[in-house]
């Protein structure tokens, strides 16, 4: 603001000789009309710098401190884990931008992107992501991190799935008609669940199969209340471990790997998109600093996500 105020003062100073000529052009005995004009000129000379300074003082706060906004749709599993509270602030401070996070299932996140309602997505359904990119909606995909899905259930394990692989566990749950709570929302987790049912050659239905239609955290809580089984990403389970009465029973299956990627929405689809800052966020998320934040993000000493790019110091 100091430089702009000085510019205003210089502008006024340059104008002073112009106004001053009227002060010496007319003698004191000049008629009243000239004196009236001189008075008006003097008033302008006093008021003009005040007006200029006021204009600059009103305009500069908006130009110097206004934050741009970046709209990001991400999964409820990322949001519920609490990771973004650690991962986004350094980026926002560095680029003076506010990231508006919309937490929904991957399917809804990609639909928001297709409609031009967000600038970037942070999701975990590789097949849906491939289709999204092939259709021309997304560009510059980068894998950021990964963890795994697990099958959680009641401690007494009525379906006896402990140490079973994922497909075998689903078969036992179906055979014994034990309660199973599905996300039922076309999220990345729901898509993975449907893949596992398909591999087990089972179409789940009936009173034992419940669809929550909610985010991962809410679905996990419902499963705990129903003493039901549930497919859940490990990060959300660890974040909710003290809120539920479920334990991990089936894991360590390569089919349960859960990869998270970030994708910029193609600006050719919508000129209103904040593409430049979307690219900046992508570069930030795969930077060494961000990857170290991901690696250091833990719950009760347990890593919730593993960095996909940098694995060491």
Please tell me the distance from the alpha carbon of residue 218 to that of residue 77, in angstroms, as a whole number.
Answer: 10
C-alpha–C-alpha distance, residues 279 and 138, integer Å: 12
Return the pLDDT at 15: 38
Asked if pLDDT for residue 4 goes beyond 50, the answer is: no
Strand partners, 264: 120, 139
Produce one character per residue of 108-120: b if its CB has 16 or more CB atoms within 10 Å, e if not.
bbbbbbbebebbb
Q: What is the pLDDT of residue 171?
A: 98
What is the total count of domains within the chain?
A: 3
Q: Does residue 31 register a pLDDT over 90?
A: no
Phi-psi region of 157 (alpha: psi -120 to 50; beta: other; left: phi over 0): left
313 in a domain, yes or no? no
Specify whether 197 is located in the same domain as 272: no
Q: Are 122 and 141 in contact (CB under 8 A)?
A: no
Query: Of 41, 65, 89, which closes a domain?
Result: 65
In this structure, the answer to whether residues 232 and 282 fall within a common structural domain is: no
**Whether residue 77 sits in one domain with residue 137:** yes
End position of a domain, from candidates 65, 86, 117: 65
Residues 153 and 251 in one domain: yes
Identify whether 312 is part of a domain: no
pLDDT of residue 175: 97
Examine the domain organization and report whether 246 and 181 are in the same domain.
Answer: yes
Model-level pTM?
0.74
> pLDDT tens digit string along 170-226?
999 999 999 999 999 999 999 999 999 999 999 999 999 999 999 999 999 999 999
Say how far apart CA 310 and CA 313 lie, in whole Å. Answer: 8
* Residue 229 and residue 203 in one domain: yes
Print the domain residue range for 191.
148-256
pLDDT-derived band at 312, boundaries 50, 70, 90 = low
- Give the domain-ending residue among 65, 89, 114: 65
Average pLDDT, the chain: 84
The CATH number that applies at residue 113 is 3.40.190.10
Pair 263, 136 in one domain: yes
Sorting pLDDT into bands at 50, 70 and 90, what band is 270? confident
Residue 139 lies in a domain: yes
Q: What is the pLDDT confidence band of residue 9, given thresholds at 50, 70 and 90? A: very low
12-21 residue pLDDT tens:
343 344 333 3
Question: In the prediction, which pLDDT does 63 show?
Answer: 39
Percent of the residues in the chain that have a pLDDT greater than 90, as a whole number = 73
Question: Is 194 in the same domain as 45?
Answer: no
Q: Is 136 a residue whose pLDDT tops 70?
A: yes
pLDDT, tens digit (0-9, with 9 covering 90-100), for 146-158: 999 999 999 999 9
pLDDT-wise least confident of 36-45, 163-172, 174-183: 36-45
175 burial via Cβ count (<10 Å: 0-12, 13-18, 19+): exposed
Residue 237 in this model has a pLDDT that exceeds 90: yes
Could you tell me if residue 59 is inside a domain?
yes
Asked whether residue 59 carries a pLDDT value surpassing 80, the answer given is no
Element (H, E) at 131: helix 126-134
Confidence at 48, pLDDT banded by 50, 70, 90? very low
> Same domain, yes or no, for 134 and 184?
no
Q: How many CA atoms lie within 13 A of 261 on its CB side?
A: 21
């Amino acid at each position: 603001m100091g430089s702009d105020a000085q510019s205003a003062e210089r502008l006024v100073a340059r104008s002073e000789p112009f106004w001053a000529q009227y002060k010496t052009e007319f003698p004191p005995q000049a008629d009243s009309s000239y004196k009236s004009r001189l008075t008006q000129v003097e008033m302008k000379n006093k008021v003009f710098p005040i007006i200029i300074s006021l204009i600059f003082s009103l305009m500069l706060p908006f130009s110097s401190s206004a934050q741009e906004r970046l709209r990001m749709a991400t999964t409820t599993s990322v949001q519920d884990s609490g990771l973004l509270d650690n991962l986004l602030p350094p980026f926002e401070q560095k680029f003076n931008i506010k990231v508006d996070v919309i937490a929904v299932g991957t399917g809804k996140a990609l639909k928001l992107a297709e409609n031009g309602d967000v600038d970037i997505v942070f999701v975990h359904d590789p097949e849906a992501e491939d289709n999204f990119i092939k259709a021309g909606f997304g560009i510059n995909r980068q894998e950021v991190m990964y963890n795994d899905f697990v099958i959680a259930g009641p401690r007494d394990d009525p379906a006896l799935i402990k140490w079973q692989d994922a497909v075998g566990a689903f078969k036992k749950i179906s055979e014994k008609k034990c309660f199973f709570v599905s996300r039922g929302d076309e999220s990345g987790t729901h898509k993975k669940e449907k893949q596992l049912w398909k591999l087990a050659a089972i179409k789940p239905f009936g009173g034992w199969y419940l669809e929550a239609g909610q985010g991962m955290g809410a679905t996990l809580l419902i499963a705990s209340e129903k003493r039901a089984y549930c497919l859940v990403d490990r990060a959300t389970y660890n974040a909710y471990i003290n809120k539920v009465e479920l334990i991990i029973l089936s894991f360590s299956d390569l089919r349960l790997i859960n990869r998270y990627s970030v994708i910029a929405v193609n600006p050719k689809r919508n000129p209103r998109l904040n593409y430049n800052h979307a690219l900046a966020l992508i570069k930030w998320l795969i930077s060494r600093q961000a990857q170290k934040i991901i690696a250091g993000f833990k719950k009760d000493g347990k890593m919730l996500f593993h960095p996909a790019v940098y694995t060491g110091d």
